[in-house]
Amino acid sequence: MASSTLDIAPLRSLVAVADCGGFHRAAAVLHLTQSAVSQHVRKLEAAVGEPVVRRSGRGVVFTDKGAQLLAHARRILAAHDSAVDDLIAGQERTLILGVTEHGADLILPSITTALRSHLPDWSVRVRFDRNLYLAESVDRGSMDLAVILDGSGLDRANAVGTVRLRWVAARGYKASSIEPLQVVTFTEPCTLRAPMFSALHTLGRQYQIVGESPDLSGLYAGLRSGLGMALLPIIGWLPDGIAPVEAMPAANLATLSVVGRRGLEAGVYAAVEGAAREALSGAAAAIA
């Protein structure tokens, strides 16, 4: 063996590669770059003196030595994490969870249940905020993980699911076929503004922004008043008084994703990601 040291971070990356089926997903779970995960695995290969994984199509396959190392890695990490838990026992531990407002009433119950099952001795504190602010908080490490919506819908590989964007307004609202479309939207920064402008451009219609709101409740208030219409992700049922504008076509798909801070336990991320995916599928089935 070239080196007798097996560091915790590379071992955690190795386990994540095994659990996630590849480097790309492991990097997302660990909130690392893919190159960092690859470097961790190479460090382990240098330590044991031979390859531990090989690529197979879009995934990876563990060598015999890799499977042997993986078994040791799981035991080492379990002992390490148990020691950390024992040493900080009695201290109040809080997990900070960020959630987008869109569909939170349908998605959040499943996520909090999964977290309390996975971390029974922890308290969970939920923060609702704009998607960009949630992502920034996770990047800074001031938030453990967040469920965010991306209106561009581009990163579907790392998403728990897709959400249809629809034009909605007060029930019975009629969009003019002659006058400029009256549009209500979120203030900047917002990942839904760009797809809204793109959809309007595709329609070839003139439009006028008649209302802006920093949050979903204010936007719904503007819609209920008959001020105009908005392009929003549809997760589950729309609130009372709000309905799709049938004369307007559906727009592109947005994505719902889970992001975790650097160093977050892979099992916690996986539990939240699975709960979010299941809740989103259930919400879609409920209105199908």
Of 40-44, 126-130, 213-217, 246-250, which gets the smallest average pLDDT? 246-250
Residue pLDDT, tens place only, 45-60: 999 999 999 987 777 8
Instruction: Give Cα separations from 272 to 54, 141, 184 (angstroms).
Output: 29, 17, 32
Confidence band for 27, pLDDT divided at 50, 70 and 90 = confident
Domains 8-87 and 94-160+255-287 share a fold: no
Question: If you count them, how many residues does the chain have?
Answer: 288
pTM score, whole prediction = 0.67
Q: Inform me whether the pLDDT recorded for 31 exceeds 50.
A: yes
The sign one gets for the Cα dihedral 33, 37, 40, 42 is negative
Instruction: Tell me if the domain spanning 8-87 has CATH number 1.10.357.140.
Output: no
Q: How far is CA 260 from the centre of its chain?
A: 8
Res. 1: pLDDT tops 80: no
Q: Between 89 and 288, whose confidence is greater?
A: 89
- Residue-averaged pLDDT of the chain: 87
- Given this model, what pLDDT does residue 91 score? 64
How far is it, in rounded angstroms, from Cα 205 to Cα 212? 20
- What are the residue boundaries of the structural domains of the chain, listed by start? 8-87, 94-160+255-287, 162-253
pLDDT of res. 284: 55
**Sign of the dihedral defined by the CA atoms of residues 208, 213, 219, 225, in that order:** negative
Please give the residue that has the higher pLDDT: either 159 or 282: 159
Q: Is the pLDDT of residue 92 over 70?
A: no
Residues 270-281 have pLDDT tens digits of 889 999 998 888
Residue 223 has pLDDT above 90, yes or no: yes
Q: Is the pLDDT of residue 95 over 50?
A: yes
Higher per-residue pLDDT: 122 or 157: 122
Cβ–Cβ contacts within 10 Å for residue 263, how many? 12
Domain 94-160+255-287 adopts which CATH fold?
D-Maltodextrin-Binding Protein; domain 2 (3.40.190)
Kindly state the average pLDDT of the residues 258-279: 88
Overall average pLDDT of the 109-118 stretch: 90
What is the DSSP pairing of strand 94-99 with strand 145-150?
A: parallel
| Fold adopted by 162-253 | D-Maltodextrin-Binding Protein; domain 2 (3.40.190)
Q: How far apart are CA 191 and CA 132, in angstroms?
A: 8
Q: Is the pLDDT of residue 285 over 60?
A: no
Per-residue pLDDT of 140-187, as tens digits, reads 888 999 999 988 777 777 788 898 899 999 999 988 888 999 999 999
Q: How confident is the model at residue 246 (pLDDT cuts 50, 70, 90)?
A: confident
* pLDDT score at 288: 37
Q: Helix 266-287 vs helix 23-30: angle between axes, to the nearest 10 degrees?
A: 100
